[in-house]
Structure 1
Amino acid sequence: MRKRARRRPPLECWKICIFSACFILQRVEMLVHRSGPFRVRPVRPPRLKAHAPCMEADRVVSDRRSFDALPAMNDEGYRSVRRIESVNKIPFWPTWAGGGIRAMLLNNRDEWDPFLLLAHHKHSFSPWDPLRRIQKSIMPEGFPMHAHGGIETVTYMIEGGFLHCDSHDATPSAYRKGSVQWMEAGTGILHQEMFETFSNRNADIELYQLWINTPTDMKMRSSSVTMLGDEYGRPLPVVRRESGDGRVCRTEVIAGIVDGQSPDFRTNLPVTILRCTMQPGADFEHTLPSAEDTAVLYVRRGTILLGRADADKRPTRRFTYGWTDLFNQEPKERMSEDATASEGDLVVLERDGTKVRFTNTGPGEADVLFLSGPPLRE
């Protein structure tokens, strides 16, 4: 007697249909446009004559000659305040119920090196949401056990909590608002990160996660996890600066040095990670260390104006990224060094100059994440 084939449960069939549809859409998108939906491709603005000394300096360094051979830069060729390379509008992708993510795969290494990925998560989980039970069976609320190797991950909690366990400590522990987890993957580490939710109240969760490349000679080191924050006895320094009219810019130093203050933690790479919250009209200015050529900033909230008002006018490249690269808009040029960036904008700065400057021009508070570091060229 022939056995009847076992019918798949309805929920399992739905899973197969959903994942199959996602796979087909991804393949079609890649075939049509040959790039992922998150890819950011900044385009260099036209070179000016004033850039000639900088270009000559790049040529000399690439030839590995002595730094004494670098040409002297006069006032015309040297820019103290960094210019804007591009302004990129990043889409907000819905993921878990009541939330989404802005994910920025920094895969153009020449522009982003040593940074690999920046993700801005914002979620709200309600215990009375009828769809959560169905969704959790398809997509867990967080990131189950997975592996990392050869990089560093930095997780900064803006709101809510993350439940973390790893191959060093299997006991889940929560780190919450204002805390930072700095994980060096080294030769390899397994870890799990799940959102901290509750059965009797809403859970609002917001965080940044940054991936940083490490030099080749550091990739084979032992893995480690370091926690920063008040509850761990390593508070993050906060620098308050007032402009002439009393407007306050509050800078939280996650990594690096600002006004002589730095966290009680030594990073493998001399990177700078700052969170700036600014009152309307407040200014932010930071002098970059000489080795930190790469500089990027992301606007979480508000509107800011970047650059110098008295500098030479030039086009500013703008890119808008939709659900897929098929719906990209043509770059919009603006003939000014001053570029306005608003919520969801990722700004890339050129590498000539020693200072970064921006002003909150919006009616409310501005919240900006600033990153800089030395390129590894690996």
Structure 2
Amino acid sequence: MLDFFKLNDLAARLEHAFGGRVCPMSFTPEQTDPFVLCVHHRHSFWSLDPIRPIFRLLLPEGFPAHPHRGFETVTYVLKGALAHRDSTGVKQVYGADCVQWMTAGFGMLHEEMWQTADVQHELYQIWVNLPAHAKLNAPAIQMLGQGDFEALDRIPVHSETGCEVRVLSGDWHGHSSPVRTSSPVNILHATVQPGATFTHELPADFTCIVYVRKGEAVVHGNSASTAVPTFSTAFLARGGEVVEISCAEDAREPADFLMLAGQPLREPVVASGSMVMNSDIQIQQAYSDYQRGLFGIPWDHKLSDDEWKSSLRKIQR
């Protein structure tokens, strides 16, 4: 009905101004290995939003302390900022053009709270599975970007022939990310101008997923081409060596998309809540360890930094 009345653009603008949109992509291990989850967050914290006070009574603006084990979270901020605190004592506030690559490993707690001084927020969070041998490694964080944290470097950005590509991990056309990954993983954010074509060579066995943030991306296959509209996901068949994605010459705007590519681990995957392991028994052990306090003890997100640090010190005694 919205298409009939040509109100899609208006609906999207209103949605973004009042609350926002969360686009979770449903992944299955057989199809998306090593990727477990990808969510596109768009939120608005407009002070005059009449619904916001009601939501604040029910839910905090962010994600209070919660546990993870057995995988990595990749948080890529496009607009706004997040404040991160975790059970290892790390605090980071990071915003646009920053990537946090957090290895949960053996287990940790962290909170992610929106910095609501910024009205508009947008980010991706991706869950990348860890190989079985690395699932109980020590927690660690790698950062790309600028802020009040130690970073490896800025996100590498390369432009050529109507394409601008940010290399979050892996490489593209000779430009590499400094992020160290536990298995071969290539995450790219590309913007393709009308009439231009993005190309990327991948090993034939790699998983490849494309999510369109803005515009329309045309994915070219061996026998046909498929137009992928905004807020849609394409799962590319394995076996192709060169990925080609274009933006039509008569398009009203560039195609802006996220590409997730990686070598499948080909290991059993059991995901439950915030844990990703290889068996039900391991999942049960993860939650048992969490309940015993081996990941740390959850803290109230309203604590000041000094109070939060004090709570961690009490646990460590």
TM-score of the pair, normalised by structure 1: 0.63
**Residue type of the alignment partner of 1:279:** Q
Structure with the greater relative contact order (CA < 8 A, sep ≥ 6): 1 or 2? 1
Distance apart, 1:182 and its partner CA: 0.2
Distance 2:71 2:55 in 1: 31
Preserved CA contact (<8 Å) 2:164 2:190: yes
Distance apart, 1:208 and its partner CA: 0.3
**Residue type of the alignment partner of 2:246:** T
Distance apart, 1:305 and its partner CA: 1.4
**Structure 2 match to 1:88:** none
Check if 1:266 corresponds to 2:266: no
**Structure 2 match to 1:364:** 253
**Structure 2 match to 1:348:** 235
**Structure 2 match to 1:327:** none
Q: 1:232-290 CA deviation, whole Å, 9 max, x = no partner?
A: 35111112111xxxxx1001100111122112221111100000011111110000035
Distance 1:229 1:203 in 2: 21
CA 1:212/1:177 → structure 2, altered by over 3 Å: closer, same or farther?
Answer: same
**Structure 2 match to 1:234:** 153
Aligned pairs for 1:247-262 (under 5 A) are 248-262=162-176
**Residue type of the alignment partner of 1:127:** S
**Structure 1 match to 2:39:** 119
Aligned pairs for 1:153-302 (under 5 A) are 153-169=73-89, 171=91, 173-198=92-117, 203-231=119-147, 232=151, 234-242=153-161, 248-290=162-204, 292-302=205-215
Query: Could you say what secondary structure the match of 2:171 adopts?
Result: coil
Distance apart, 1:203 and its partner CA: 1.1
Identity %: 39
**Residue type of the alignment partner of 2:240:** G
Preserved CA contact (<8 Å) 2:169 2:178: no
**Structure 2 match to 1:103:** 24
Give ranges in structure 1 of 5+ residues lacking alignment: 1-91, 243-247, 313-336
Distance 1:170 1:109 in 2: 31
Distance 2:82 2:263 in 1: 30
The Cα RMSD (Å) is 1.9
**Residue type of the alignment partner of 1:272:** N
**Residue type of the alignment partner of 2:225:** D
Distance apart, 1:170 and its partner CA: 5.5
Distance 1:284 1:252 in 2: 12
Distance 2:50 2:198 in 1: 45
**Structure 2 match to 1:375:** 264
Preserved CA contact (<8 Å) 2:102 2:141: yes
**Residue type of the alignment partner of 1:341:** V
Higher strand share: 2
Give the number of equivalent residue pairs. Answer: 249
**Residue type of the alignment partner of 1:183:** M
Query: Could you say what secondary structure the match of 2:31 adopts?
Result: helix
Query: Could you say what secondary structure the match of 1:136 adopts?
Result: helix
Q: Which is worse superposed, 367-376 or 131-140? A: 131-140
**Residue type of the alignment partner of 1:123:** H
Which of 318, 333, 338 in structure 1 is aligned with 2:225? 338
**Residue type of the alignment partner of 1:281:** G
Preserved CA contact (<8 Å) 1:235 1:263: no
Preserved CA contact (<8 Å) 2:169 2:187: yes
Distance apart, 1:169 and its partner CA: 1.9
Distance 1:121 1:371 in 2: 17
